[in-house]
Amino acid sequence: MKKTFAVATIIFSAAAAYFLLWPVPVDPVAWQAPTDRGYIDPYAINDRLKIATAINLGNYEGPEDATIGIDGRIYATTGNGKIIRIQNRGIRVFANPGGRPLGIETDHDGSLVIANATIGIQRVSLDGDVTTLLDTVDGQPLVFANNLGIGPDRTIYFSESTSKFGAEEFDGPLSATLLDIMEHGGHGRVFSLDPSSGDVQTLMRNLNYANGVAVSKDGSFLVVAEMGHYRILKHWLTGEKKGVTEVLIDNLPGFPDNIKNGINGRFWVGFAAPRNQLLDSLAEKPFLRRLVQRLPVGLRPNAEPFSHVIAFNGDGDVLMNLHDPDVRFATLTGVLETRDALYLTMLFGNQLARIDKRDL
């Protein structure tokens, strides 16, 4: 009996020591999460995404972002490290930037600009040749370039989601993202890059997972997704408010991902996942968040499958709200809008979803 008790004591002590002392990569910071109002107007659940059809991408998975090229074809980033070209549902590899390309935009000269999570900012020529435009800032490596927008003067604006948790070091973009969200340490930044001079400016800092970036058509402001705070920010680039950052949309019902320019001045954002009740409840309890990080991966807060995108304008008005309760396409990262269709990008899977706008 004494032996059994001693063994149990040793096991309990070892378990307690593990949960209290085992090192974890996060150093959680207390913050106050806004009360989750759920999916009420203007975010009420509907079935408007159910009409989406799938473009099969074959062996190419994770079309995180997409753009319309100068030739009218769709170009998408993939988890395979490739840029694929899509025309009439036919798939071809256009370029091989390597790493994990995430955001992609078409520049004014027809070349493609990529935010690569493990490399930095890259350019792909019309012939598919890849060059690196930027991989360091102030002598320090870019840790997690994520999304970007290109202004009317060709300035490239891009996000570094976190300067602490690199996608390569921490087993991929999702794992690194979850660590940064759990820590909530304000490691995100937004930069501007002048491609002609190479000059880099830090426009925004101390963001909790800086994600989507888009530029207004006239170049007067940026809209930026601060994923870890469930909000969209507006940063002024010109005028009396130049340099000022405002909260454009607060207390979103999910984690905002990419932001992309649509038609008629609207912006689109995809929600990678709905909010997590456990994560919100632990917001002001950094000690418990550290304990949770020591649990097996399957027991920690994770991205739940969901299908939700919205369109909004520069004043923060929600213009369109689209869901699919059946979650045929999950972990939606954003929307590419053309004159005729919406293309839904996503973090996982080998499909790109398409919606004919006439059916909306």
Tens digits of per-residue pLDDT, 25-42?
999 999 999 999 999 999
The answer as to whether 14 is a domain residue is: no
The answer as to whether 29 is a domain residue is: no
Of residues 71 and 7, more confidently modeled? 71
Work out the percent of the chain whose per-residue pLDDT is above 70: 94
The answer as to whether 283 is a domain residue is: yes
- 149 to 158, 193, 243, 315: CA distances (angstroms): 6, 11, 17, 19
Q: Do residues 176 and 163 touch, judged by C-beta distance below 8 A? A: no
| pLDDT value of position 222 | 98
The answer as to whether 17 is a domain residue is: no
Per this entry, what is the length of the chain? 360
> How many domains are contained in the chain?
1
Phi, then psi, of 250 in degrees rounded to 5? -115, 160
Q: pLDDT of 121-133, one tens digit each? A: 999 999 999 999 9
Task: Kindly state the average pLDDT of the residues 333-357.
Answer: 97
Question: What tokens appear for 78 in the block?
Answer: 């993939």
The answer as to whether 94 is a domain residue is: yes
Q: Answer yes or no: is pLDDT of 7 > 50.
A: no
The answer as to whether 177 is a domain residue is: yes
SS3 sequence, 301-353? CCCCCCCEEEEECCCCCEEEEEECCCCCCCCEEEEEECCCEEEEEECCCCEEE
| pLDDT value of position 13 | 41
Q: Give the residue numbers spanning the domain of 253.
A: 36-359
Task: Kindly state the average pLDDT of the residues 105-116.
Answer: 98
Q: pLDDT of 39-82, one tens digit each? A: 999 999 999 999 999 999 999 999 999 999 999 999 999 999 99
Cβ neighbours around 274 below 10 Å, total: 18
Alpha helices in the chain (DSSP H): 2-21, 173-183, 277-281, 286-293
Strands of the sheet with 267-274, listed across from one edge: 254-261, 267-274, 308-312, 318-323
Q: How far apart, in whole angstroms, are the C-alpha atoms of residue 182 and residue 288?
A: 11
| pLDDT value of position 3 | 53
Q: Which of 230, 223, 207, 193 is nearest to 308 (CA)?
A: 230
| pLDDT value of position 299 | 80
* CATH number for the domain harbouring residue 326: 2.120.10.30
Task: Kindly state the average pLDDT of the residues 139-159.
Answer: 97
Q: Which of 33, 46, 37 is nearest to 310 (CA)?
A: 46
DSSP category for residue 37: -
Q: Answer yes or no: is pLDDT of 156 > 70.
A: yes
Q: Answer yes or no: is pLDDT of 182 > 60.
A: yes
Lowest-pLDDT choice from 10-19, 91-100, 150-159, 337-346: 10-19
- 3-class SS at 211? strand
Q: What is the DSSP string of 119-139?
A: TEEEEE-TT--EEEEESEETT
The answer as to whether 46 is a domain residue is: yes
Grade residue 8 by pLDDT with cuts at 50, 70 and 90.
very low
Cβ neighbours around 302 below 10 Å, total: 12
CA angle 244/249/252 to nearest 5° reads: 140
* pTM of structure: 0.94
C-alpha radius of gyration, the chain, whole number: 21
Phi, then psi, of 291 in degrees rounded to 5? -65, -45
Q: Answer yes or no: is pLDDT of 1 > 60.
A: no
| pLDDT value of position 298 | 81
The answer as to whether 24 is a domain residue is: no
Q: pLDDT of 280-332, one tens digit each? A: 999 999 999 999 998 888 888 888 999 999 999 999 999 999 999 999 999 99
Q: Which of 191, 197, 272 is nearest to 230 (CA)?
A: 272
